[in-house]
Structure 1
């Protein structure tokens, strides 16, 4: 039997950052990351859109993302002179109708109070700043002036993972088949291969598999996969200004952003429309029937576009309130959660990993107080809703 002081299940951005910060904070014990897909191609991280934003309604989410932006802006100091994740600091633009303006204004006030750098634009200010935008029916929008944009998610996760391995963390390829719980402690995990790993602490960073891993330990966790489509399209008539557009979110939920010479877009379904088959097939009718017409109405230059690619991603959705669950189980103290980011994991992964490390090494949070994101709210069925879910 192999023994590690800490076993982290999941090697995406959250798991890799947890391992990295454990070592950075001085944890001297042994750490292992267990990951079933070491091609790193199908996890939540690699198939995300790589967004970084501070436009949230919950202070903790703003702080988590600000930490991530800070890492991205100091990559070379943190990981060496060759570190690069292609950060495009073009902002987010969240649009609102008259009916949606009170919430947008309320969120903006929370964001400014928590150090975000954005501005409210009203009426004619929108097309004046973004000439490609049809502002009909819009009352305003919130635009991130700095600290928002997107990165290459694969590269960011790889930086944390390689740095963790360089500091002595062990990577184990395998899938957890069972978790052994002795009273109020996790004692070991067994892999599908039959290998057994003894652990002093288990960190659940299993992404879409987080709910299943918790269940194996006899712990209920309302986190599971959600299937999302991302479409890549070419717009021959796109102007330079449109290629410099922020990630723009239309009031109905459709988003788009530039991607190199092209653009990507998507739309999250309503609860009753959620796909029930979690394969990797793309439903192209979703673009034709739900996205294209509304996208072209908002951006007239998109009337003549051609879909040239697409992909499917699965993300770890917290069915209680779409916010992360972070911290120890209140009774099984050596079981730590870092789950349920509901599409925000890439940008909040670095701060979450740092938080896990602080709990282990220092016994409590030092950088961001994430107490409200603890598992206790799951027990109480007391959701902490995020209003700005994209």
Structure 2
């Protein structure tokens, strides 16, 4: 058991860890160092904020099954002084579409998801047309739709609710930047901030999101996580799309309702996805050349679109296998990593917070075993392959 835990980063991942630590053991001292308490540039606040069970690996499905359970009960779990937070969870479902080339994989994934208890329906072309008559199904062979347990929510509201509850449970939040990690052999002894404060620690957690690579470098550790910009566009349209889910086109372009408008986006091509692009810029060419034409093809009513607003946020992108790295590094006994979620951080945050707290308090996972996501797989070049990366 460790009595002094310092968490670098207070977004959804860091705040979830702080919450579960203090909830599980109020004797543990928890300090969260977050350089921007407004979260203006954090992935937690800038993402499309959604949750799904439609993954291809059992662990990813199980993490999100706990995630939706947590989000559904957030009012009770994260209430402070009788006030229950709301994150406007809307279980509108994901709709993954596949052409004949991808239909086999979709069916395999669906069988796995059903076996684990996810409420997903596999739809043929006729069923897709019947349920979503506004959809162009000419080139489609199948679709998978989340009947429940999938949808979208207020990501900024979630991080604020976790932070406030963690503070109410006794976690201390410090508005500062980490400048150095002092190491003695295989252990981190102190966290030093830009203001010169020093925090002695028994355990340090790297939950610094898109900036986690810089924190790892302070320990001479090569963390394959980079800040990759993703642009999101809020568009208005006269389209009337009844029962509209979060739709994933076979091309990777996605859209979902956002009030009376829609938000949409896609990842850029792998050969045009550099690191650390400025967040105050938006990739308008990607919208004009890829997103809009794809949407207009898939939903003919989307030929009339107008961009109302747009912004960019960072994926903390794990270039090794696009999955989270959770656990200790073999060379540093008391440093735990929780990084590289590659767009899945909000939905996997609750399971990560619970798991990392177990690892700190008990030395092992006691509920869901997250060891397949450990750092050793990176060093041993054993990728944890998830087919449904969006």
TM range (shorter): over 0.9
* CA-to-aligned-CA distance 1:153-180 (integer Å, 9 cap, x gap): 0111111110000111111111111111
Q: Which residue of structure 1 aligns with residue 85 of structure 2?
A: 83
2:200 aligned partner: 198
| Root-mean-square deviation (Å) | 1.2
What is the DSSP-based 3-state SS (H/G/I as helix, E as strand, rest coil) of the residue aligned with 2:108?
Answer: helix
Query: Following superposition of structure 1 onto structure 2, how do residues 44-83 of structure 1 map, counting pairs within 5 Å?
Result: 44-80=43-79, 82-83=84-85
Bigger CA drift: 13-22 or 360-369? 360-369
Residue number among 201, 218, 221 corresponding to 2:220 in the alignment: 218
Shift of 1:363: 2.1
SS at match of 2:100: coil
Task: Output the CA distance in 1 between the equivalents of 2:345 and 2:170.
Answer: 25
Matches within 5 A, 1:270-285: 270-280=269-279, 281-285=281-285
The answer on whether the counterparts of 1:222 and 1:319 sit within 8 Å (CA) in structure 2 is: yes
In 1, Cα distance between equivalents of 2:384 and 2:115: 19
Alignment partner of 2:327: what SS?
strand
1:227 CA drift (Å): 0.5
What is the distance in 2 between the residues matched to 1:351 and 1:274?
A: 29
Query: In structure 1, how many angstroms separate the alpha carbons of the residues matched to 2:20 and 2:282?
Result: 36
Q: 1: CA distance between counterparts of 2:313 and 2:102?
A: 29
- Cα contact 1:27–1:361 (8 A) shared by 2: no
Report deviation, 1:197.
1.7
CA apart distance, 1:285? 1.6
**Counterpart in 1 of 2:129?**
127
Which piece of structure 1 moves more, 323-332 or 334-343? Answer: 323-332
CA shift, 1:206, in A, is 0.5
Q: Distance in 1 between matches of 2:274 and 2:371?
A: 33
Partner of 1:141: 143
Q: Residue 276 of structure 1: CA displacement?
A: 4.5
Name the CA distance, whole Å, in 2 between partners of 1:187 and 1:5. 11
CA contact (8 A) 1:134 1:297 kept: yes
Partner residue in 2 for 1:228? 230
**Structure-2 residue corresponding to 1:246:** 245
Aligned equivalents of 2:291, 2:72: Cα separation in 1: 33
Query: For residues 339 and 324 of structure 1, what CA distance do their matches in structure 2 show?
Result: 6
Task: Within 5 Å, give how 1:137-176 maps onto structure 2.
Answer: 137-176=139-178
Gaps of 5+ in 1: none
Partner of 2:185: 183
Q: Does 1:337 align with 2:362?
A: no
Give the Cα–Cα distance (whole angstroms) in 2 for the partners of residues 333 and 62 of structure 1: 29
Instruction: Report the secondary structure of 1:99's partner residue.
Output: helix
Residues 228, 314 of structure 2: 8 Å contact kept: yes
The CA distance in 2 between the partners of 1:240 and 1:131, in whole Å, is 9
Shift of 1:359: 0.9
Q: Counterpart in 2 of 1:371?
A: 371
Query: 1:21 and 1:277, CA in 2 relative to 1: closer, same or farther beyond 3 A?
Result: closer
Give how far 1:79 is off. 2.0
| Per-residue deviation, residues 46-92 of structure 1 (Å, max 9, x unmatched) | 01111100000111111111111001111222123532100110000
CA distance in 2, matches of 1:361, 1:128: 51
Whether the aligned pair in 2 keeps the contact of 1:53 and 1:92 (CA below 8 Å) is: yes
Separation of aligned partners in 2, 1:116 and 1:27: 34
Matched, 1:381 2:357: no
User: In structure 2, the residue corresponding to 1:65 is in which secondary structure?
Assistant: helix
Q: TM-score scaled to structure 2, two decimals?
A: 0.96
Provide the secondary structure at the position in 1 that maps to 2:133.
Answer: coil
Residue 240 of structure 1 and its aligned partner are, at CA, apart by 5.2
Q: Distance in 1 between matches of 2:154 and 2:202?
A: 34
Partner of 1:98: 100
Provide the residue aligned with 2:15 in structure 1: 16
The alignment's TM-score, normalised by the length of structure 1, stands at: 0.96
